[in-house]
Structures are given as structure tokens and as C-alpha cells.
Amino acid sequence: MIEISTDPAAVDLDWLHHRLSTDAYWALGRSRERVERLVANSLPYSVFRDGSQIAFARLVTDRTTFAWLADVYVDRPQRGQGVGKLLLDRIMADADSWGLRRMALATGDAHDLYRTYGFTPHPKPDLWMEKNWPSNPA
């Protein structure tokens, strides 16, 4: 049975820290302390199959106008079976219910997946600014 929880207390922190720090190209080496802090300060989405965590994503959001979608990860043996789409269906349903104006994300190679949910390259890149701290850890 597959279940999705947004309870921060439900997140399997051992699973999440291991997967992000060793197998997520954008978070390699991320410390356990930073994983715990980002879970505590985001809206986490955890997918469980028969009680074991198999996928994760999180929104950094005001639940009103804006959300940043990050750390979308499905366990390797579970990929290609619709788990990622199940997770995104739930996240997009929440976004609809809040009446968000914008959701943003960054991805190295999953553009086609996000395109099916309506994401596009920024339509007005001249408007978008960001600041990076590349020397800070993942």
C-alpha cells in the first residue's frame, strides 16, 4: 500500500539523509544536521510503501502565493512505476487548493517530467534574480 504524509515527524531521516547525501547530484555530502533543519523548516512530502519510505519531496512555501519545489527523490528500485508522478500530483493538488501564483524549481535533467505539470523555462528571465553562496555546503 502506498501512502503520502506531510508530517515532518513521519520523515525517515536516516533514509533521507543517506539518499540525498550519497545519491542526489545536487545534495552530495549534505550533512545530517542540514537535512534535519530543512525538513523542520519546509513542508515535506514523504511517500511510504508498506510503511517504508521510498520517495521524498519538499516545498518551501507561504502556502499562499509562492513555493519552491526541491529535493524530489524516488528510490532507485522504485523508479519508473509512477511514484514520482503520484508525488507531483499531490503537490500540485495542494498548490491548486492554496491558490498559489508561482512555483519554481531547478532540475538537471527531469525537465520533461516537470513540463507535463506546466513548468516552463522562465518566460521573462530578465525579471528573475538569484543570489548564490557556492562556498556553503550542499
* Strand ranges for 35-129 from DSSP E: 43-49, 52-61, 66-74, 102-104
Cα 22 to its chain centre, rounded Å, is 16
When binding is defined by CB under 6 A, the residue of 39, 46, 84, 91 that contacts ligand ACO is 84
Residue 25 C-beta: closest distance to ligand ACO, Å: 7
* Angle in degrees, 0-180, between the axes of helices 32-40 and 13-23, rounded to the nearest 10: 120
Residue 24 C-beta: closest distance to ligand ACO, Å: 6
Please work out the total of residues on this chain that contact ligand ACO, with binding judged by CB under 6 A: 20
When binding is defined by CB under 6 A, the residue of 51, 80, 99, 125 that contacts ligand ACO is 80
Query: Does 70 interact with ligand ACO (rule: CB under 6 A)?
Result: yes
When binding is defined by CB under 6 A, the residue of 47, 59, 83, 100 that contacts ligand ACO is 83
Nearer to ligand ACO by Cβ, of 41 and 107: the residue is 107
Residue 112 C-beta: closest distance to ligand ACO, Å: 4
Residues 6+ apart with CB under 8 A from 66: 100, 101, 102, 103, 104
Q: Among all chains, which residue has been given the C-alpha cell 510503501?
A: 49
Nearer to ligand ACO by Cβ, of 35 and 69: the residue is 69
Nearest residue to the partner ligand ACO, using Cβ: 84
Cell of 129: 534574480
Residues 6+ apart with CB under 8 A from 88: 57, 72, 113, 114, 117
Residues in touch with ligand ACO (CB under 6 A): 24, 69-74, 79-85, 105, 107, 109-110, 112-113
